[in-house]
Amino acid sequence: MKLPTFQWGSLKTKVTLLTLGIFVMGMTIVTVWTAHMLREDMLTMLEQQQFSIATIVAAEVNQELSDRLHNVELAAAGISPALLANTSALQQHLADHRVLQGMFNAGTLVTRGDGTAVASVPAFMQHTGVHFMDRHPMALVMAQGKSGISPVTLDKQRQTPMIAIMAPIFDPKGKVIGTLAGVINLVDFNFFDKIIGGHQGHTGNYVLVSREQRMIVTGTHKRSAMQTLPPPGVNTMEDRFVAGFEGAGIGTTPAGEEVLVAAMSIPVANWYAAAHIPTVEAFAPIKALQQRMWLAIGFMTLFTASLTWWVLRRQLAPLVNTAAALAALPENSQFPAELPITMNDEIGQLIAGFNQLLKTLGKRDVVLRNKQAQLDQLVSEQNAMLSNNMIGIVRVTQRVVQWANPAFVHMTGYPLDELVGQSTRMHYPSDEAYQALAQAAYPMRAGKVFHTQTELKRKDGSPYWADLSGALLQSTSEDTLWIFLDITERKQADNALQSSLRDKVALLNEVHHRVKNNLQVITSLLRLEAGRSSQPDTQAVLGEMQGRIRSMALLHETLYRSGIFASVNLADYLKQLATQAFRAQSHGTVQLQLMLNAVHVSMDMATPCGLLVNELISNSLKHAFPDGRQGEVSVRLQPVDAPQAGGPTWCLCVSDNGVGLPVNFEQLRDQSLGLQLATDLSRQLGSVLDIHPGAEGTTGARFSVRFTPDSTTAGRAHVPGTS
């Protein structure tokens, strides 16, 4: 028997895997959710049971301790001062008290008011004559006159943990004259063992914990006696129990084992009883149930996979047979006859639809053959026309030339018989260029048209440039159609134009560089001349001249760095200019404030603006702040709200909060070279320099000019090759 071939890409495999995936995912979700809900429900039930057990244990321990405390108090009430003073009679009195002897495995003892033991039972415990006043529990009972249960202490003689139940002995006046104490050895067999000596389940246990000491009193495992609890903050559940919480929850042991723990208070001793059981044991039934469910899921998965595969194989058999019949047909044969329909279902309907498609395609094939013949005739008629325009057309299959028109033959210099059947590699100057173009043309496989300009070579080895376009003839084939247009002359013209442009850019950069250098030389000469002069007025004039030349040099530097020679960003230029002028002339007591909005102007307008700002800043620093007075100089460049007919209007303003304008300012105005120069610069901007005192209620002066940016800034030219 021949087994069916397993194929990963088959429909049977995909449907089977999808069915299995859905089945396994659904069963996994159900299993996990069921286990989670079962755990939550079981946790609630176990917490209730655990708390009930802890409540019962705590009640029994509390009752036993209360009984012992009550009997100790009764026995203490029966000891008179005379009996306390008679040691032999007191010893006999304790020996006759059988109830106390049965309750305390370490015996009972009586102390006087000074804490010295005068009698003890049994006598071999050797408590008589021992001084107990230095022990905190005994001293506390003597001081307060109240019965109680002592903390867990280590017996000095036997080195074992002990607890004592103590009651005071009073005289007729109510004064404490001694104590009666019953001692329980926590290591030897005692009444605790009857209550918590056994395990809960297989590994669960019980412990009694003293809240005051944060210490285990005793437990199922006696070695746990006198073990201290972890510090606060380490074990959250233990901290809650010590704080007085009564209930159950999930906690951890000092060894890191997760346990289900419940606690109940023992009021008579300020203890609590805790019942522990590991969660591994508590939830063992859930784990066993999960394992059985996973085993069932595995079995059902195999059964479902086998059944699904068998059903699909049976249902898809007609479709497989049909595909095999189609694959067996020769490539160049006529359209096949109608395929047989064996099943009257969806697959039968699919085969019927395919038969109808075969009929339609047969009719279209006849039409396509007629159109192909017409197209071949049309192409042959157009070859002559295309050859005259030097438009080459080539059909390529798998990078091998199949056909080329006369124009491409003339363009490359290859005869047609050499072109057909040869690789397209022979038209490229190098293997690298050929591989790069082949990789770039890869999008044609997605049905896109490819277009580029590339350098090729003719048969004689001479290079030429071609505008190249290509596209697939059919989306499912390797046939491509390429159109070549010779653009060698246009490429040579573009190269010449780029070369000329680079020369002009280099010349323009050199001119700006030389202008900037010459202005720097003039500034240096003025600085040297000012250093040689001993006249303050001459030095001041030369310093002002340096500032004016520096403003023009800065403008050329700004244009040179930006590479935009048709316009300049006036805000950036004025910011650098004002900062440099202020740094050169200010003595540190005056601050500069800039509020500049961006606007582009031509170099002819930027030059008077820069000189004007330099003159006004220099004038403010010279006259507005005498004798080291502090203040502020403000430079603003902002658009005016109301637009003018000639275009948007801008306002350039320099103001200060110094001493203000003098009374005879109008008389002195004509004598100031700086103000005369500022007036002339304002005229160059097509405006008038407005001079006003500071705002109402303040001192200072304000100089402003309004102008309209020139129209040349509308087209800001950027020279290629500059940054």
Which CATH number does the domain housing residue 92 bear? 3.30.450.20
Residue 433 lies in a domain: yes
C-beta separation of 264 from 273 below 8 A: yes
Burial profile 349-364: b = 16 or more Cβ within 10 angstroms, e = fewer? eebeeeeeeeeeeeee
Q: Taking each helix axis from N to C terminus, what angle separates 11-77 and 284-315, rounded to the nearest 10 degrees?
A: 170
Question: Which of 456, 486, 516 corresponds to the end of one domain?
Answer: 486
DSSP annotation of 647:
B
Q: What percentage of the chain carries pLDDT values higher than 70? A: 75
Going from the C-alpha of 692 to that of each of 155, 370, 619, 666, the distances in angstroms are: 103, 93, 14, 12
Whether residue 693 lies inside any domain: the answer is: yes
Site of tokens 């170099």 = 603
Q: Is residue 383 part of a domain?
A: no
pLDDT band at 63 (very low <50, low <70, confident <90, very high): very high
DSSP β-ladder status, 590-596 and 450-457: unpaired
3-state secondary structure of 67: helix
Number of domains into which the chain is organized: 3
By CB neighbour count within 10 A (0-12 exposed, 13-18 middle, 19+ buried), where does 475 fall?
A: exposed
- Span 662-666, mean pLDDT? 76
One domain for residues 467 and 501: no
Neighbours of 439 (CB within 10 A): 8
Q: Using 50, 70 and 90 to split pLDDT, how confident is the model at 553?
A: low
Q: What is the pLDDT of residue 529?
A: 65
Asked if 322 and 342 touch (Cβ cutoff 8 Å), the reply is no
Do 429 and 402 share a structural domain? yes
Do both 425 and 572 map to the same domain? Answer: no
pTM for this prediction: 0.42
Q: Is residue 3 part of a domain?
A: no
Range 55-60 average pLDDT: 92
Residues 445 and 539 in one domain: no
Report DSSP state, residue 449: P
Indicate the pLDDT class of residue 271, thresholds 50, 70 and 90.
Answer: very high
pLDDT digits (tens, 9 = 90+) for 111-169: 887 778 888 887 545 555 455 544 556 666 776 778 888 888 887 777 889 888 989 98
pLDDT bucket at 417, cuts 50 / 70 / 90:
confident
Q: Are residues 393 and 539 in the same domain?
A: no
| Structure confidence at residue 664 (pLDDT) | 74
In degrees and rounded to multiples of 5, residue 252 shows phi and psi of -130, 150
User: Does residue 210 sit in the same domain as residue 262?
Assistant: yes
Q: What is the mean predicted confidence (pLDDT) over 79-103?
A: 86
Asked whether 394 and 407 are in contact (CB, 8 A), the reply is no
Mean pLDDT of 615-634: 85
Q: Which of 24, 33, 43 is nearest to 285 (CA)?
A: 43
Residue 485 clears pLDDT 90, i.e. is over it:
no
Domain boundary (262, 282, 302) is at 282
Distance CA 56, CA 50 (A): 10
- State the burial class of residue 244 (Cβ atoms within 10 Å of its Cβ: 0-12, 13-18, 19+): exposed
Question: What pLDDT shows up at residue 263?
Answer: 92
- Read off the DSSP letter of residue 398: T
- Beta-bridged to residue 479, according to DSSP, are 397
Q: Which two tokens stand for residue 513?
A: 């560089």
- Domain check: are 459 and 579 in the same one? no
Asked if residue 8 belongs to a domain, the reply is: no
By C-alpha distance, which of 409, 411, 429, 430 is closest to 420?
A: 409
Cα 587 to chain center, whole Å?
50
For residues 97 and 192, membership in a common domain is answered with: yes
SS3 content of the chain, % helix, strand, coil (to 5): 50, 20, 30
Provide CB contacts within 8 A for 118, sequence distance 6+.
Answer: 84, 87, 90, 110, 111, 112, 128, 178
- The verdict on 551 and 655 lying in the same domain is yes
Domain limit, last residue, from 255, 282, 309: 282
The one-character DSSP state at 422 is: S
375 vs 242, 319, 327, 370, 536, CA distance in Å?
99, 39, 31, 9, 97
Within a domain: residue 491? no
Mean pLDDT across the chain: 78
Residues 230 and 154 in one domain: yes
Least confident of 48-57, 154-163, 540-549, 579-588: 540-549
Share of residues in the chain with pLDDT > 90 (%): 8
Burial class of residue 442 in the structure, from the number of CB atoms within 10 Å of its CB (0-12 exposed, 13-18 middle, 19+ buried): exposed
pLDDT of 266 reads 92
| Sign of the Cα pseudo-torsion (621, 623, 629, 631, in order) | negative
Q: Burial, 564: exposed, middle or buried (Cβ in 10 Å; 0-12, 13-18, 19+)?
A: middle
What pLDDT does residue 597 have?
Answer: 92
Question: Per the structure block, which two tokens stand in for 463?
Answer: 């290079």
Q: Distance from CA of residue 622 to its chain's centroid?
A: 57
Spatial distance between the Cα atoms of 614 and 581, rounded to a whole number of angstroms? 7
CATH code of 617's domain: 3.30.565.10
Instruction: Please write down the long-range contacts of 133-141, taking CB distance under 8 Å and 24 or more positions apart.
Output: 137/164, 137/166, 138/111, 138/166, 138/179, 138/181, 139/115, 141/166, 141/167, 141/168, 141/176, 141/179
Provide the 10 A C-beta neighbour count for residue 247: 16
Has residue 314 been placed in a domain?
no
Residue 357 included in any domain: no
Gap between the Cα atoms of 222 and 192, Å rounded = 10
User: What does the pLDDT look like over 470-484, one tens digit per residue?
Assistant: 877 766 667 788 788
688-706 tens-digit pLDDT: 888 888 765 567 889 999 9
* Domain extent at residue 651: 496-714
Q: How confident is the model at residue 635, as a pLDDT?
A: 93
- Pairing status of strand 590-596 against strand 631-639: parallel
337's CB contacts (< 8 A; 6+ apart) are: none
Give the lowest-confidence range in 35-44, 118-127, 279-288: 118-127
Of 453, 455, 379, 457, the residue nearest 413 (C-alpha): 457
At 579-606, the pLDDT tens digits run: 887 887 776 788 899 999 999 888 788 8
| Same domain assignment for residues 566 and 698 | yes
Residues 480 and 506 in one domain: no
